[in-house]
């Protein structure tokens, strides 16, 4: 082995304006470089307690069970579904884009009979249609995506939808991966039973841990399971024994990612949720106005747009992939393209967490003007 | 929210001589603090290529499919089992401690009929007994733990056992979580079909990613599955599309943990595997001699001891938990206790990766002498 062919790591300074990861504050980087300690060390248990506490603030909940699982956002989605599905359960899933499709796929793998309610990518679901669908069968749960990063649409009316689910005896699961900490998510006020997110979107921590919170109704449902959870690593009852009182070993927690998450959450708390939501709204509105001035059209109608991610239609004649590539090569700016039915048709611009900054919006608009005029 | 009650992170400088995480070299810490970039950025794809390459060196394999999954070692164990088990498959699992038990539990959750071969904690399995057991039924796979961190025993004779499994048409899976990079693991020469490890043991990277490698026979088996893998997040065929040629998005890779893993692997390559194994052996032998001078007895007979983790019997009259606690409180040294049938009876001392150093052995022995004489 000639080790000398592997050089010192040398990464470009990117400006991350895609669907995540977002920019990370310097304080979060510093937390990552803190010394490693054991996952059962009293000093690490104190870090865990702060993380749980701060997560409750961000999820706007009193839920005791509020922890990060040790994987990325998709693993939290799978934790949410696998823990509440037993083989043969019937579930209802709203699909307004790629991540709704992913939930359908995951639920099927855990043996659920899945019914789905679809809207075109870029649209949202009508509350009446959901309410009607919920009455067709007794459902174990209803699962929706709050902010659909594949389309840029934000599902409104969550409180009424949660109430409709509970009316029919179904649990209500909400994917807040792309919305939490960038726009309001009120777990308790909306009566959401299971909400989950990712670390590297509007929280601006390092990817690889994913927070999840469970209501009392969710905990009661867990305690009544007849079969073990299909997924051992994401078995929330076992994980809670480590994160909760008894501190039983389950798996080695990613200690550095938890340091980073704690620091990122502390920054959210210092800014305050309301100020943070207002900042995201202010910056995204500047983006929308600037894009319109460039004669670009958004995919999603204004009232349903996410504040953390904007989908922009590539104009006729523009090569969407080439524009994206030039922004990366010439300006070190990362934005994303579309996929599925939107492949080659849109750009996805994320202003999430530490990436939601006026200077980035101004730069991106100026860079797009230059690139589009010289395409 | 009063954010001021959450103080700057302030962690003790521990000397980690437990079953992992191990000490991390400063260069690995520096890699963790490198800037975040996108998981589809060309610069990150280059990091991934180096990680795969270097992992092949450490696993001593040419396997194309050699990647880290995005979770801790237990998630790699679950990836190994869930991808190769279909409901109704019969599997054989060797149990010489806690992590063998864990494989039994995981395999059951994926619908396998599990037969087990047991040895007492501290003992290893006899190759003839395994060979005889393999002939009783047609098994889909045989799974063993190489280094059992709960007991300190290293299963010998892996090459012969792998041959016996193949003779009977079974795949051979090996948990190398606590052995890889600390003592020889020869995936190709031993003909292991699936081997997996963790980042925070003898590799001395940050916890939260877990390398796994698959032989051609394992890949062929995967391609013949009749049912989807039960676990979406750990579906290796889908993950390979991201780590392999087509770079299809599956989930957001933990970018910082991959920087750290790359740097840790580079350090292994610079030292060289043979020198690294010799260092682990030299230091652990110094530990064993020193413990004997303290009139302490090892749980495992010498020829079956791991070089990365030593289990020591607490002497009559000593309070094992109290000694462990005093080492932490007075010396900042982390060692671990026993669990299961060994709870309160042993200490577990890890000399893994960057923790396998002469100065730590000398310190630990001197500290134990002081603590035991003043207990």
- What whole-number distance in Å separates Cα of residue A368 and Cα of residue B6? 41
Contact B14 A73 (CB under 8 A): no
For A11, which of B43, B198, B250 is closest by C-beta distance?
Answer: B43
Are the C-beta atoms of residues B230 and B82 closer than 8 Å to each other? yes
Predicted confidence (pLDDT) per residue in A168-194, tens digit: 999 999 999 999 999 999 999 999 999
A255 pLDDT band (50/70/90 cuts)?
very high
- Here the tokens at position A311 are 């989908």
* Average pLDDT taken over every residue of chain B: 97
Contact B251 A54 (CB under 8 A): no
To the nearest whole Å, the CA of B167 is away from the closest chain A CA by 31
To the nearest whole Å, the CA of A193 is away from the closest chain B CA by 22
Chain B contact set for A258 (CB, 8 A)? none
Give residue B247's pLDDT. 87
Are the C-beta atoms of residues A22 and A354 closer than 8 Å to each other? yes
Are the C-beta atoms of residues A256 and A36 closer than 8 Å to each other? yes
To the nearest whole Å, the CA of A128 is away from the closest chain B CA by 31
For B78, which of A41, A208, A233 is closest by C-beta distance?
Answer: A233
Question: How much is the ipTM here?
Answer: 0.97
For B36, which of A23, A73, A262 is closest by C-beta distance?
Answer: A23
Q: What percent of chain A has pLDDT over 90?
A: 98
Mean per-residue pLDDT, B22-47: 96
Among residues B213, B211, B154, B212, the alpha carbon closest in space to that of B183 is found at B154
Predicted confidence (pLDDT) per residue in B311-369, tens digit: 999 999 999 999 999 999 999 999 999 999 999 999 999 999 999 999 999 999 999 99
A residues 58-77 near B, CB within 8 Å?
A: 70-75
Give residue A1's pLDDT. 86
Judge residue B339's burial from the number of C-beta atoms within 10 Å of its C-beta, 0-12 exposed, 13-18 middle, 19 or more buried.
middle
Chain A contact set for B109 (CB, 8 A)? 228-232
Q: What percent of chain A has pLDDT over 70?
A: 100
To the nearest whole Å, the CA of B246 is away from the closest chain A CA by 14
- Residue B262, chain A, CB below 8 Å: the answer is yes
Predicted confidence (pLDDT) per residue in B12-30, tens digit: 999 999 999 999 999 999 9
Structural domains in chain A?
15-19+273-373 (3.90.1150.10), 26-269 (3.40.640.10)
* Average pLDDT taken over every residue of chain A: 97
Mean per-residue pLDDT, A187-202: 98
Contact B34 A9 (CB under 8 A): yes
- Residue B167, chain A, CB below 8 Å: the answer is no
- Residue A252, chain B, CB below 8 Å: the answer is yes
- What whole-number distance in Å separates Cα of residue B154 and Cα of residue B300? 9
Give residue B325's pLDDT. 97
Give residue A247's pLDDT. 87
Q: What does each C-alpha distance from A132 to A192, A193, B310 come to in angstroms?
A: 19, 20, 62
- Residue A317, chain B, CB below 8 Å: the answer is no
First to last CA, chain A: 46
- Here the tokens at position B127 are 């190759």
For B207, which of A1, A255, A260 is closest by C-beta distance?
Answer: A255
- What whole-number distance in Å separates Cα of residue A47 and Cα of residue B108? 34
pLDDT at A375 over 90: no
Are the C-beta atoms of residues B67 and B55 closer than 8 Å to each other? yes
């Amino acid at each position: 082995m000639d080790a000398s062919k592997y050089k010192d790591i040398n990464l470009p300074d990117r400006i991350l304006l895609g669907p995540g990861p977002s920019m990370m504050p310097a304080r979060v980087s510093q937390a990552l470089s803190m010394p490693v300690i054991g996952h059962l060390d009293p000093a690490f248990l104190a870090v865990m307690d702060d993380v749980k506490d701060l997560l409750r603030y961000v999820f706007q909940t009193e839920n005791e069970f509020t922890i990060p699982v040790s994987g990325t956002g998709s693993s939290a989605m799978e934790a949410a579904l696998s823990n509440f599905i037993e083989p043969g359960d019937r579930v209802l899933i709203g699909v307004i884009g790629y991540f709704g499709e992913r939930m359908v796929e995951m639920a099927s793998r855990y043996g659920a009979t899945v019914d789905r309610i679809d809207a075109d990518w870029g649209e949202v679901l009508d509350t009446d249609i959901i309410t009607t669908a919920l009455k067709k069968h007794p459902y174990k749960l209803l699962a929706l995506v709050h902010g659909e990063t594949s389309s840029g649409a934000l599902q409104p009316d969550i409180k009424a939808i949660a109430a409709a689910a509970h009316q029919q005896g179904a649990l209500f699961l909400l994917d807040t991966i792309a919305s939490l900490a960038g726009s309001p998510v009120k777990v308790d006020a909306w009566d959401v039973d299971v909400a989950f997110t990712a670390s590297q979107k509007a929280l601006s921590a390092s990817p690889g841990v994913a927070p999840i919170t469970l209501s009392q109704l969710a905990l009661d449902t867990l305690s009544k399971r007849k079969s073990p959870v299909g997924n051992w690593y994401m078995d929330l009852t076992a994980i809670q024994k480590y994160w909760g009182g008894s501190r039983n070993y389950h798996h080695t927690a990613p200690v550095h990612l938890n340091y980073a998450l704690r620091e990122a959450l502390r920054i959210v708390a210092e800014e305050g949720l309301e100020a943070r939501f207002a900042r995201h709204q202010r910056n995204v509105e500047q983006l929308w106005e600037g894009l319109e001035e460039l004669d670009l059209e958004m995919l999603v109608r204004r009232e349903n747009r996410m504040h953390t991610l904007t989908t922009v239609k590539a104009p006729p004649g523009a090569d969407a992939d080439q524009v994206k590539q030039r922004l990366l090569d010439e300006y070190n700016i990362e934005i994303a393209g579309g996929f599925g039915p939107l492949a080659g048709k849109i750009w996805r611009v994320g202003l999430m967490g530490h990436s939601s900054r006026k200077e980035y919006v101004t730069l991106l608009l100026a860079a797009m003007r230059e690139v589009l005029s010289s395409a």
